[in-house]
Structure 1
Amino acid sequence: MLTDTVCVALSAGGLAIALLTAYRRRFLAATRIAAYALIPVGLAMTGILDWINDLVFDPGVWLGFVVLGLSWLLFTVSRTVERRRAGPQGPAGQVSGRAAPQIRPARSPGGGKDREGTGAAGGRKRTGSRTGSGDDEFSDIEAILKKHGI
């Protein structure tokens, strides 16, 4: 019963503020304030406030929330540990479908010649075709650069 009285008092105060706002010819704001002011009375009339009181002040409900929180914590910890154990591989221990790119030096270790045998790799473009995944990697990079307008 005390809850209903408090809700009616809140609504009456809100409606008084709405009337003062309407007196200042701010009708849109007054309408919005009146809408907010009617919420406490509506909640009291529907009985939702009694349900909320039973929910908030019941220790069994709080124990249920604690159990749900513990369940969520255990789930999160198990997922984190599973991801750390799997590493860069998938969760089932399988290597992902895309292989990591290989880094090759610009010059071979001996004599300052590159793989094609044309001398230093400096700024010259290689014209010979190579087999392997190197061309695929460069074509992917070129496609990305073209997509971004570079």
Structure 2
Amino acid sequence: MLIGTVCTLLSAAGLGVSFLIARRRRYAAALRAAAVSLLPVGLAMTGVVRFVVNMTINPVAWAGFGVLAFSVLLFLSGRLAEGRGRGASEGESRAARGRRSAPALPSSGASRGGAEDFSDIEAILKKHGI
């Protein structure tokens, strides 16, 4: 009885707020507010509110939620451990492949060729007056 009264009062307050929103000519927002304000009465009429109230008082229900949460944690930690194990072996093999295919350090002749490249760039910049 008390649950129905509280839900009815919540819905009446919400409908009052939606009426005030509609007076400001914001009809779409007023319709959304009216829809949300009718939810408490609808839930009370279907018995969902009574079910939720009875469930929150029941310690067996809370133990069930605890078991479900523990199950989700176990599942996620298993996925995380599987992903880390696979990622580490792939990362090590990539590093080993990278070491095998890494080019040798350039010789001193290649560094002279690099200096010639800079002289070309300097000539182009001088040509444009930079």
TM over 0.5: yes
State the identity as a percent. 41
Task: Measure how far apart 1:59 and its partner are.
Answer: 0.9
Partner of 1:5: 5
> Structure 1: how far apart are the matches of 2:67 and 2:7?
33
Of residues 97, 101, 104, the one that matches 2:98 is 101
Q: Please, which runs of 5 or more residues in structure 1 have no aligned partner?
A: 108-113, 126-150
SS in structure 2 at match of 1:106: coil
User: What does the per-residue CA deviation read over 1:81-101, in whole Å, with 9 as the maximum and x for residues that have no partner?
Assistant: 5555566326xxxx8689621
Match of 1:121, as an amino acid?
Answer: A
> Structure 2: how far apart are the matches of 1:86 and 1:25?
59
Match of 1:9, as an amino acid?
Answer: L
Partner of 2:109: 120
Partner of 2:117: none
> Structure 1: how far apart are the matches of 2:51 and 2:96?
58
Q: Report the CA distance shift for 1:81/1:4 in structure 2 as closer, same or farther (over 3 A).
A: same
Higher relative contact order (CA 8 A, sep 6+): 2
User: What does the per-residue CA deviation read over 1:24-81, in whole Å, with 9 as the maximum and x for residues that have no partner?
Assistant: 3333332222111111111111111112122222111111111122223334444545
What TM-score results when the alignment is normalised by the length of structure 2?
0.64
Contact 1:106/1:121 (CA < 8 Å) preserved in 2? no
What TM-score results when the alignment is normalised by the length of structure 1?
0.57
Q: Please, which runs of 5 or more residues in structure 2 have no aligned partner?
A: 115-130
Residue 66 in structure 1 maps to residue 88 in structure 2: no
Partner of 2:39: 39
> Structure 1: how far apart are the matches of 2:70 and 2:9?
40
Between Structure 1 and Structure 2, which shows a larger proportion of helix residues?
2
Task: Please provide the CA RMSD for this pair.
Answer: 3.1
Q: Report the CA distance shift for 1:82/1:123 in structure 2 as closer, same or farther (over 3 A).
A: farther
